[in-house]
A = this chain, B = another copy of it.
């Protein structure tokens, strides 16, 4: 992440990750999730916080999830979804997520994809009627220990992104994540939104007082704002741009990748385009995962050794003047994980206050351990 999104040091409280995973697990359990799903969901959120991807960790996401679990009717998340395969072929499946949180629905979809890939070389699973999946990398990374390449995409109808030259929101931030194993080097893990900035990072920016760069957002009429600005307070006063920003700078590429995610997640799963969904389905999301078995093309051991050479070669690239080094996707996150496992995860003090309040409110008995 760009530095401006980090919690300023003066506002940080360092918390032991195990104590935070336990707190989060208890909260999910209280929301009505099964033991297994509570454990899985807290693991997904904390993997995100450990990787330095706090935009998708407990700070932003947990309060929203709780709101939705408490919501009655169509908009509420189902704590005990009936996970069901609605269509299947040897290498494909379509899963009904039954309004369950993607945090625990999607790992099960990925398990099916991995099982199919183990037998046939590839496995692909679309999921309909599910909810937010947290950090995509988690799901893609499930493929790594099987010597497979993992792909995750998600889409839905939380519309805030304009198509290139469009004045109306037609897409969500429709992110992608690939995970590819290496031998001795940390894996390549590429996890991005198809917008200039991930939606959750806007919330982070607000909390830490960071500015929007030129070409990150539009004005209320869809025109790209080409100067540095604060994020408007009112959600109706801006829209988001596909990555690239302007057409000249390649926003049709971000727009195109966003539409691909829309197709694999919403159309292929049978939900229909996000912007055409009826209001009663607001919050529902489609997902897509794919596992590709390396051994179907080449010896996995040769592949992983070649990955080491590729990744090391990228890191050894001479940096441009003014920069310390060249990295590859997944390397800084791997390094951050090592640091945070030892030193704790830096949370904004307001986040810790929130946990203390929710602990009292829900009558839980966790203890966040300060480092």
What is the bound-complex CA distance between A263 and B244, given in angstroms? Answer: 23
Q: How far is the CB of A93 from chain B (nearest CB, A)?
A: 8
What is the bound-complex CA distance between A296 and B37, given in angstroms? Answer: 28
A233-267 interface mask toward B, CB cutoff 8 Å, 1 = contact, 0 = none?
00000000001110111101111110110111001
Best-buried of A167, A188, A245, A259 by chain B (most CB within 10 Å): A259
A268 touching B294 by the CB < 8 A rule? Answer: yes
A319 touching B166 by the CB < 8 A rule? Answer: yes
Q: Judge whether A164 is part of the interface by a CB distance below 8 angstroms.
A: yes
Instruction: Choose among B222, B267, B303 the residue that contacts A307 (Cβ–Cβ < 8 A).
Output: B267
What is the bound-complex CA distance between A257 and B89, given in angstroms? Answer: 29
State the interface size on chain A (CB cutoff 8 A): 87
Q: Judge whether A100 is part of the interface by a CB distance below 8 angstroms.
A: no
Interfacial chain B residues near A170, Cβ < 8 Å: 313-314, 317
Interfacial chain B residues near A298, Cβ < 8 Å: 87, 94, 126, 268-270
A268 touching B248 by the CB < 8 A rule? Answer: no
A89 touching B120 by the CB < 8 A rule? Answer: yes
In the assembly, how many copies of this chain are there? 2
A263-306 interface mask toward B, CB cutoff 8 Å, 1 = contact, 0 = none?
11001111011011000000000000000111111100011001
A323-342 interface mask toward B, CB cutoff 8 Å, 1 = contact, 0 = none?
10111110000000000000
B297 touching A250 by the CB < 8 A rule? Answer: no
A152-183 interface mask toward B, CB cutoff 8 Å, 1 = contact, 0 = none?
00000000001111111010000000101000
Interfacial chain B residues near A63, Cβ < 8 Å: none
Known contacts: A248-B213, A307-B267, A329-B252. The answer to whether A318 contacts B190 by CB under 8 A is no
List the B residue with the shortest CB-CB distance to A322.
Answer: B223
Q: Judge whether A130 is part of the interface by a CB distance below 8 angstroms.
A: no
What is the bound-complex CA distance between A329 and B255, given in angstroms? Answer: 9
Q: Judge whether A76 is part of the interface by a CB distance below 8 angstroms.
A: no
Q: Judge whether A196 is part of the interface by a CB distance below 8 angstroms.
A: yes
B252 touching A244 by the CB < 8 A rule? Answer: no
List the B residue with the shortest CB-CB distance to A294.
Answer: B268
Known contacts: A180-B263, A263-B310, A310-B276. The answer to whether A163 contacts B326 by CB under 8 A is yes
B260 touching A178 by the CB < 8 A rule? Answer: yes
Q: Judge whether A41 is part of the interface by a CB distance below 8 angstroms.
A: no
12 contacts between A and B (CB under 8 A): A89-B120, A89-B121, A91-B122, A91-B296, A120-B120, A121-B124, A162-B317, A196-B250, A245-B249, A263-B307, A270-B306, A273-B313
Given contacts A87-B296, A267-B310, A276-B309, list 4 more A-B pairs with CB under 8 A: A92-B292, A166-B326, A192-B253, A268-B294
